Structures are given as C-alpha cells and as structure tokens.
Amino acid sequence: MTKNEIFGLMNGVMSFHLATLEDGEPRVRGMLLYKADETGVVFHTGVFKDLYKQLLANPAAQMCFFDPASGTQVRVRGQFEEVADAKLKEEIYNHPSREFLRNMCGNSMESPFYETIRVFRMKNGIANVWTFAANCAAKEDIYL
C-alpha cells in the first residue's frame, strides 16, 4: 500500500487501538481518530485520562487500524506530540463527527470541559500493513 492508501484506510475506519506504556507495562485501548494525512495522525483525549499521562511520560506509541471489508490491518508506530493549536481544537470541537464532545462539553467553547481536551499528533509514523494473503511476507516499513 502507498501512504495515501494507508491514510484512506485509516480515515475510512476511524477507530483504532492505541498501545502505550505505563511503568514498563503495556496499556491498550480503543480510540476514535480525528484525521490522518500528510500533517500526521491526529486524535484527542482528556487530561483526566491515564492515556494523557502516559503520552506525556513516554510519547512512543503504536496504533492498530483494521478494515474488516478488506481484511487489512495497518499498524503505525512513532512519537506523539501534544498540539497546542486553538484553531485545530476548535475544528475538532465543531466537526460533525464530534457531536459527542458538544453533548459532553455544552455548546460553548469556553466550557470548563473544553479546557480539559488535548490534541495529539504523530508525525512521520512508520506503518506496517498486514493481510491474510501476505501473512508470511516480510514486514515492510512504509514511512508516513
């Protein structure tokens, strides 16, 4: 797959599992992607979540996306960085796919809950693609 095909798969399924470390032990949870493109892979979480503390302590992580229609799994590893971009946060908050945020936060960008949302981006991730058909093939790194 090309990196643009990988972005297409990621944006098509939108959900992924994210693995982090806490005290040397793995932690995995399901997440909702905001977007993946040339600028990186973007998602958000709350400062009250263990995930937030884990990424601050160790920004190395791996995401796993699965497209059941094609039977394709894409894993992406790299370093996340917190993004302090008010316009991006506002874009996320107002996006139709994030109505649940407005329901939790209220319809005001000044709500206290809004201040607890943090955005993370992984730039220059390294992807590996897996399918049953290529199960025995050597792993190929695809640089995003």
- Per-residue confidence (pLDDT) for residue 124, from 0 to 100: 96
| Model pTM score | 0.91
- In the three-class reduction of DSSP (H, G, I as helix; E, B as strand; rest coil), residue 69 is classed as coil
Place of tokens 């699965």: 66
The SS3 call for residue 58 is coil
Question: Confidence class of residue 29 from pLDDT cuts 50, 70 and 90?
Answer: very high
Closest CA to 32 of 120, 133, 144: 120
Which pLDDT tens digit goes with each residue over 75-120?
999 999 999 998 998 899 889 998 887 777 665 556 655 678 899 9
* Cα→Cα distances 134→65, 95, 104, 139, Å: 17, 37, 43, 9
Residue 72 has pLDDT above 60, yes or no: yes
C-alpha 15/C-alpha 73 separation (Å) is 12
Domains contained in the chain, CATH given: 3-143 (2.30.110.10)
pLDDT, mean over the chain: 92
